[in-house]
Amino acid sequence: MTNADRSNEWLIAGVDEVGRGPLAGAVVAAAVILDPQQPIEGLADSKKLSEKRREQLAQQIHERSLAWALGRAEVEEIDAINILQASLLAMKRALAALSTQPHEALIDGNRCPPDLPFPSRAIIKGDQSESAIAAASIIAKVARDQEMVALDADYPGYGLASHKGYPTRVHVAALQRLGVTAIHRRSFAPVKRCLGST
């Protein structure tokens, strides 16, 4: 089927984010428009897949999707507007970055980014029921995990490559021992405590 033949297809973008819970790093969202003619087997909630399987599926999503894009909100934005608003902003940026505009967006969770130029629907646990959302969760997680591994080289001693910025005992202990860095979210309680603020 040619692109012209497909012009009447209803294009749905799945959207998900990763990185709401960590004490460090950006929140990263992805938007994916899957191609029904190139199905991808094994799409699932990224948290339920092994790292190796996520990376394999991410490669297939990149190669077979009609369109995909990442969006992010940086640490400074998270601290300024809170993590929920920053997550919605990252999702909006991912949708805006798509090379093909969808007719509808399916958003993982209970809230949609405001002021989208097309209809959107929030679906709780959508990464378990919608393939496009699952695909978005996979490429967002792979991208963010790779970023945290890279940051581990710039900020050694915090264990970022292993816990990816989440508030593990190892991470909190490293914060107390080594101090707060530029990539830590100052509005999050464990980081605030290390800064001596409340």
Q: How much is the pLDDT for 176?
A: 94
- pLDDT score, position 4: 43
In DSSP terms, 122 is beta-bridged to 107
pLDDT at 1 (0 to 100) = 36
| Structural domains of the chain in order of their starting residue, each with its CATH number | 4-146 (3.30.420.10)
Please give the chain's pLDDT, 198 residues, in tens. 344 455 678 999 999 999 999 999 999 999 999 999 999 999 998 989 999 999 999 999 999 999 999 999 999 999 999 999 999 999 999 999 999 999 999 999 999 999 999 999 999 999 999 999 999 999 999 999 999 999 999 999 999 999 999 999 999 999 999 999 999 999 999 999 999 854
What are the Cα distances from residue 138, in Å, to 118, 131, 167? 24, 11, 21
Angle between helices 131-154 and 51-64 (to 10 degrees): 120
pLDDT of residue 188: 97
The rounded distance, in Å, linking the Cα atoms of 96 and 115 is 11
35 and 65 Cβ atoms separated by less than 8 Å: yes
